[in-house]
Structure 1
Amino acid sequence: MSKKVIVVGAGVAGLASAIRLQHAGYEVELYEKGSTPGGKMNQIKQDGYTFDLGPSIVMMPELYRELFELCGRDPDDYIPMEKLDPIYRAYFTDIPDQPFDISTDLIQMTKTIESLSEEDTEGFFQYLHEIYRRFVIAKQHILQRPFRKRTDFYNFPLLTKVLQMKPYDTADTFMGRFIKNERLKQLISFQTLYIGISPLKSPSFYTMIPMIQFLYGVWFIKGGMYTMALGMERLFKELGGTIHYGKAVEEISIQNRKADGIIIDGKKIPADYVVCNADFPYAMKHLVKDKASKGRFTDKKIDSMNYSCSCFLMYLGMNRKYEEVDHVHTFIFNEKLNQNLEDIFDGKKLTNASFYVYIASKKDPSLAPEGKDGLYILMPVSNIATADYTWDEETISYYRNYILNELKNIPGFENVEEEIVTETYTTPLDFESKFNAYRGATFGLQPTLDQSNHKRPQSKASHCENLYFTGSSTHPGAGVPIVLLSARITAQELIQDDTGHVYDYSSNIQPQRGLSH
């Protein structure tokens, strides 16, 4: 008889782990407190407009597709996608009439960079060369493997590779070695915010994020990101998996430091293995109640760790189409971007803020009523514990007014405030209450050097058997492609423990198609 696995939480990594384990022959049941799949990869419907709730930019499409290919399915039947070019348009608030189009077309990209700073163009290509070299090392030796024990990291062959990545400089310092023009540097390095950390503090290897965009492209899934969540749910059910919605897990049942099920409404549901996709800090504080099984992740330790920023999101249904805006993704940078970044992580109310606008209905008109567009606007803000202000109507109103006033300076959005017909928001408090994001930190634990790789929570629980974790606060980190890797590692770890089949991560015989063409 096949062994039973319970997965807690139907976020991206929970669904992906469940699919992999169901495909491998386990009997998998998924328990989700919400009423829909996807976790933060969710959807908001209002007055005929459809918005992605959280993630919105598709990078590394191979990793999205891999999950379906693994199960013998054609990904195009589940997640039809097309490549975007240009990837996005960027504005600086002090020169709104000079937009910069960021393209994967090398000729166009070279012209854009030359228009910003001809003397930095050579440096840009040197940056690409250097970060690609580091990316290959990370891909082959770090991102796709777990670190169960200290010697998995602290061994001569791996440390030699890690030192080649020169991990000790920040993203900002690293970029500054190649590019002197402040605007160009910001255009490239700001993307560490995709995983909730400032480029001023981020380890330099996270500047691989823009490199991945330049070299591999950015994609759009028909129906928006939520199509991926629905596609995973459909695949899991087709494989014979079961999902229970509206079921909040109260505790992971542990006997003699061995997970043996979960507790819901005071009743135990037994299992051979438990995979937890609830945010790791939340899970350790609230679901793992057996003190010995927490290992070093005591409540005190969890409280002392560094957390990512949060986000304030506005979803605006508009009374018209924005024909004069050509791009699905638009970034609006405040000219005092470094001040903006410091304020986010110092907990200050933002007065020089940058934000991002996503118009999914440009690519898929079915996401808005005929002849209309929906605007998704995201602004990185402090997490709840850092912020020296509270999230109330006044704060929402303050940020709403700030964003709309700045947006009016951007061509095409001059009358944006009068064009809103319906609106709703997601605040850090919502990330905390709806998705159990600890302190409302949208991206989980911050990927500082002290909280990356072997120092980040791993898939296999360190002090409890048959318990596994997956998701953005675990290794290898945040961002949809990376949590899909986290799910792959989690499934491999569980299968290894169950069958004794040891994965040899060092020899690189694992399929690499996840991260390369």
Structure 2
Amino acid sequence: MKKVTIIGSGIGGLAAAVRLQKLGYDVTIYEKNAQPGGKMNQITSAGFTFDVGPTIVMMKDIYEEVFRFCDVDPQEYLPFEEVDPLMHLVFSDQSSLNLSRDLPTFISEVSRIAPDDVSGMLNFLANIYHRYEIAKPNFLERSFRSWHDFYNIPSLSAGFQLHTFGNAYKNISKFIDNENLRNSLAFQTLYIGISPYQGPSLYNIIPMIELFYGVHFLKGGMYTVVKGLVKLFKEQGGTLKLGSPVQEIIIKNKSAVGVRSNERKFFSDYVLCDVDFPTAMTTLIPNQEDRGKYTNQRIEKMSYSCSCLVFYFGLNKKYPTEALHTICFAHDFKKNVADLFENGTLPEDPSYYIYVPSKMDSSLAPENCESLYVLIPVPELSKFNHWSKKVVEDYRRLIINKIKENSIFSDIDQHIVLKKQFTPIDFKEQFGAYNGATFGLRPTLKQSNYYRPHNKFDYASNLYFCGSSTHPGAGVPIVMQSAKLAVEELIRDDKNN
């Protein structure tokens, strides 16, 4: 039985591990933290439970596919519930919009705030769905080893049909005039850490996928996915080593032969790395000659996504919340986004996201209490690195005041009994996010598809990568797809050896 070493038990590493174990490999995962999951982690304290990072379940079929691949019933591991409304949006003029998967309901909502944009919205969704059908088989579901995998007539023809050179916001504006409605679609590129004013228009598939395929919730929160994959992995005979940081990927004669962990060497036939690609290059492969073009200087110059500041509040009061997920927009959304990607400053008037998992699952908070998660997109650490206690506390007060003004939580400050937070520094130190960039490398055209780090490493055999900084990109379902592609690349090589 051939051995595979996996570095990191984030969602990509776990998804790859169960596939490989099912295929008959002897898989060992090395995880530096005491808990598996990477950024898909969990905080428990005083009876409150919070997801650390991802909270929105989109494209549930991709989650389920991993379990079906292993010939088990996904429902035994992932108890999905559909969410409606998908999301509640609050705009700067205090108007609001509920996103719904039910088309008549959604169109009624669009008509209520922008009656002249109903046909434009339908045309937009049809247009982006058509482009998604092209992108899915040609780019999202295939990997790129060499230039001729990308530069060939079918790929170039598909790329031409995608019209990717315009940005997401401009593409939306071709169909829709109302600014609030434009922003309700545009903001979702922030899910993958890129500005809608800079990101390729293809990323408008995100709101389309939400509206067409729905949003789901998992009892126990997102960490249920991690628990389910770990359980399946162990049931299959896999080995998970927690508290086992990897210091080095051992490369000999341009081939990965194992890892060094806790000052011991562990050899294997293949190595699959789920550590953020830039971090892996700069910390796990010390000899720059083994990295090819990915020198320290090149890694530093690459473009990174925004980061996140997340506040977790335990409240000793229940609230009649309208939705599981809420977005509150800044008064000047364009300036807010510019602060993240261009100005490198903490937004004085930020947009922010509220998640209330205890609305769907009362076990996530004590009786008559609420677990509240508040995420604010902020610049990554190379642009802003002043995260003192005072800065965090001042920003917490700013956000609490905004929540009081814009939501049902009008007296939140009187009912906070637990406060925790994750800053970009925490995402860097605990989960290895380079520059604290929560979504990895920014998915610009120059850092996408063939130009994004490949699933099969170019400069050493038997070495593979998955995760948000590798092809095809960020977001939980896409990272799971990254894991699938990395496994397919490994199998392809194994068959040829």
Give the structure 1 partner of residue 348 of structure 2: 351
1:102 aligns with 2:99: yes
Which digits, 9 at most, give the CA deviation of each residue in 1:384-441, with x for residues without a partner?
Answer: 1011x50011210121111111111124211011110111000000000000100000
Inter-partner Cα distance in structure 1 for 2:199 and 2:398? 27
1:415 aligns with 2:411: yes
Give yes or no for contact 1:31–1:244 (8 Å, CA) kept in 2: yes
Inter-partner Cα distance in structure 1 for 2:251 and 2:496? 22
Give the structure 2 partner of residue 92 of structure 1: 91
Inter-partner Cα distance in structure 2 for 1:157 and 1:447? 22
Q: Secondary structure at the match of 2:327?
A: strand
Which of 310, 321, 327 does residue 323 from structure 2 map onto?
A: 327
Q: Secondary structure at the match of 1:404?
A: helix
What aligned pairs does 1:52-451 form with structure 2 within 5 A after superposition? 52-95=51-94, 98-323=95-320, 325-345=321-341, 346-387=343-384, 390-451=386-447
Inter-partner Cα distance in structure 2 for 1:46 and 1:209? 33
Inter-partner Cα distance in structure 1 for 2:308 and 2:219? 24
Shift of 1:348: 1.1
Inter-partner Cα distance in structure 1 for 2:193 and 2:90? 21
Q: Which amino acid aligns with 1:476?
A: P
Q: Secondary structure at the match of 2:406?
A: coil
Q: Which amino acid aligns with 2:8?
A: G
Q: Which amino acid aligns with 2:63?
A: Y
Structure 2: gaps of 5 or more residues: none
Inter-partner Cα distance in structure 2 for 1:385 and 1:177? 34
Q: Secondary structure at the match of 1:421?
A: strand
Inter-partner Cα distance in structure 2 for 1:233 and 1:76? 15
Inter-partner Cα distance in structure 1 for 2:290 and 2:135? 30
Give the structure 2 partner of residue 472 of structure 1: 468
Deviates more, 1:429-438 or 1:112-121: 112-121
Give the structure 2 partner of residue 484 of structure 1: 480
Q: Percent identity?
A: 45
Deviates more, 1:288-297 or 1:325-334: 288-297
Which digits, 9 at most, give the CA deviation of each residue in 1:53-111, with x for residues without a partner?
Answer: 0000000000000011111111111010011111011112332xx32111111111101
Inter-partner Cα distance in structure 2 for 1:361 and 1:475? 34
Give yes or no for contact 1:94–1:334 (8 Å, CA) kept in 2: no
Q: Which amino acid aligns with 2:433?
A: A
Structure 1: gaps of 5 or more residues: 502-517
Inter-partner Cα distance in structure 2 for 1:290 and 1:15? 28
Q: Which amino acid aligns with 1:11?
A: G
Q: Secondary structure at the match of 1:142?
A: helix
Which of 442, 450, 453 does residue 449 from structure 2 map onto?
A: 453
Shift of 1:46: 1.2
Give yes or no for contact 1:279–1:473 (8 Å, CA) kept in 2: yes
Give the structure 1 partner of residue 5 of structure 2: 6
Shift of 1:312: 0.3
Q: Which amino acid aligns with 1:341?
A: V
Q: Secondary structure at the match of 1:89?
A: strand
Inter-partner Cα distance in structure 1 for 2:407 and 2:32? 42
Q: Secondary structure at the match of 2:439?
A: coil
Inter-partner Cα distance in structure 2 for 1:412 and 1:337? 22
Give yes or no for contact 1:339–1:352 (8 Å, CA) kept in 2: no
Which of 486, 490, 493 does residue 494 from structure 1 map onto?
A: 490
Corresponding residue pairs, total: 496
Give the structure 2 partner of residue 515 of structure 1: none
Give yes or no for contact 1:281–1:302 (8 Å, CA) kept in 2: yes
Shift of 1:176: 0.8
Inter-partner Cα distance in structure 1 for 2:346 and 2:328? 18
Inter-partner Cα distance in structure 2 for 1:468 and 1:377? 35
Q: Secondary structure at the match of 2:420?
A: strand
Give yes or no for contact 1:64–1:481 (8 Å, CA) kept in 2: yes
CA RMSD of aligned residues (A): 1.0
Q: Which amino acid aligns with 1:354?
A: S
**TM value normalised by structure 1:** 0.95
